[in-house]
Amino acid sequence: MKTGFKVGDVMTNKPIMVAPDTTLQQCAKIMNDNHIGSVIIGKQNTISGILSEQDIVRKSVAKGLDIKKTKVDKIMETKLFTVEPDKDIYDAILKMRDLNIRHLPVTKNKKMVGLLTLKDVLKIEPSLFDILVEKINLREEGRKPVNNPTSDEGICELCGEYAHNLFKIDDSLVCKKCKAKF
């Protein structure tokens, strides 16, 4: 399912880059100030790693590292997967799904030219979200409506009214009043 959108058309052209000797606290402030979930670690167009909010939480805060002293190069992800700007975003989203990543550096001739994030893709082609859903892990997934279509409460599919008790009739969830009509 090609979209017709190229990675280069959707990507962030000027991702925030920090030097490897930046402290985690400085990096977190940069991410907060710019409302971003990751930064590229490196200099100019040369990437040495990527650091996400999850990396900061899981690899430093949770382990009790001093974020005022620990440098980003100590916890950054160095195993980088990239995509080229002329690829269709569908191919990029499949790669992100399969690798379970949310940020994909964009390179051309081994030089970084941008960063593709899930936000970038979803703003342009929200229908691609379904491709990612299978990799999303939800806490207490079994009790949530996403996996429990016969939930006790919700919107009746016949009358459109909210009901505390829904009943499954002919593959539809209906309220007590509409159930009586069957």
Query: What pLDDT was estimated at residue 72?
Result: 97
Domain that holds residue 160: 141-179
The answer to whether position 1 is within a domain reads no
Q: Residues 107, 33: one domain? A: yes
The answer to whether position 88 is within a domain reads yes
CATH number at residue 62: 3.10.580.10
Q: Residues 84, 42: one domain? A: yes
Q: Residues 70, 153: one domain? A: no
Distance CA 177, CA 156 (A): 10
Query: What pLDDT was estimated at residue 133?
Result: 60
The answer to whether position 72 is within a domain reads yes
Give pLDDT tens digits along the chain (182 positions).
Answer: 688 889 999 999 999 999 999 999 999 999 999 999 999 999 876 899 999 999 999 999 999 999 999 999 999 999 999 999 999 988 998 898 888 888 999 999 988 999 999 888 878 776 666 666 655 554 555 555 555 444 577 788 888 788 888 888 887 888 888 888 87
The structural domain count of the chain equals 2
As to burial, measured by CB atoms within 10 angstroms (0-12 exposed, 13-18 middle, 19+ buried), residue 169 is middle
The answer to whether position 87 is within a domain reads yes
Distance CA 179, CA 42 (A): 62
